[in-house]
Amino acid sequence: MTTATLDGRAARRCHNALNSLHSTHYFSPDLGREVGALGITDPRAVNFAVRAAALGPVGAGTVAATFYNYKYELVARHVPAVWATAGPDQVLAARARAVDATLRRLLGEEAVASAEMAEAARLALRAAEGCSRSARPLYSAHADLPVPEEPHLAYWHAATLLREHRGDGHLAALMAAGLDGLEALVTHTATGKGMAPKWVFSTRGWTREEWDAATARLRDRGLLDGSGELTERGVALREEIERETDRLDAAPYAHLGEKDVARLTELAAVFARTALGAGAFPADLLGKR
């Protein structure tokens, strides 16, 4: 199957379901407990450490570049100092323990040990075989990590690979669209599918004044209206960004094939709904205000 024969919307649906389960660990008390035991207790330092650990003991510049929408000054407050507290290998091991505990808690032991979980892991890992390392630093770094033996951890690992592969391509699409990191956040929030501003301020390091300045820039470009909603041009730009991201992320799902993409989406959606129902995410995480 060529990359042109798979509907990009089908691949996006599959990604969204996979990413939902991957993202649960960022909000899990298990992560704070495991990484906190290493001496890393600030939630933002935990976030930088666990996502960047696959890159090695990198500095603030690398993290800011690969994460894209975090304020550099916030990153520099914690990186590279965090590596003096715990090395990347220690952080990766702590993350694995946290993910194990989180998935068992959110999904239940029966689902973790199920044939469906093993099937989902096989399918997701096969899709990841179609990923490309070129210009994808976060994906490529995670692809160097060993695949866990237990199916639920292998599934999470594969979801991470697919999430970072799409994410690296998404950054290229944002840059091509002329959106800096904060502008990308503002426009995503304006779609109603992004983080509420309070979460942007607390996790990304931006201030209300900087948010308002970015909003003004976007308004001057005709992408937002006076109330902060997307204009027709703004909606079109966000849709084009997603289409370009789909195009850059087509290979793993084309490699898996239409039938198996549908099956993986079905399995992943069940796991994601279960996690959501178990309170995996804060109730006020998403929203325009």
Cis before residue 29, ω within 30 degrees of 0? no
Q: What is the pLDDT of residues 176-233, one digit of tens each?
A: 999 999 999 999 999 999 999 999 999 999 999 999 999 999 999 999 999 999 999 9
Instruction: Give CA separation, 149 vs 87, 122, 162, 233, 256, in Å.
Output: 23, 11, 18, 47, 21
**What is d(CA 137, CA 179) in angstroms, rounded to the nearest whole number?**
20
What share of the chain has pLDDT > 90, as a percent? Answer: 96
| pTM for the model | 0.95
* Tokens (6 digits) for 200: 């942007």
| Chain segment 236-282, per-residue pLDDT in tens | 999 999 999 999 999 999 999 999 999 999 999 999 999 999 999 99
Confidence at residue 166, expressed as pLDDT on a 0 to 100 scale: 97
Q: What residues contact 142, with CB distance under 8 A and at least 6 apart?
A: 54, 157, 160, 161, 164
pLDDT, tens digit (0-9, with 9 covering 90-100), for 132-165 = 999 999 999 999 999 999 999 999 999 999 999 9
Burial class (CB in 10 A: 0-12, 13-18, 19+), 132: middle
Res 2 pLDDT > 50: no
**Predicted confidence (pLDDT) per residue in 68-84, tens digit:** 999 999 999 999 999 99
What pLDDT, on a 0 to 100 scale, did the predictor assign at position 289?
79
Residues in the chain: 289
pLDDT digits (tens, 9 = 90+) for 19-55: 999 999 999 999 999 999 999 999 999 999 999 999 9
Distance between CA atoms of residues 179 and 229, nearest Å = 16
| Confidence bin at 3 (pLDDT 50/70/90) | very low
* 8 A C-beta contact, residue 29 and residue 278: no
pLDDT at 1: 38
- Reading the block at residue 248, the tokens are 């850059």
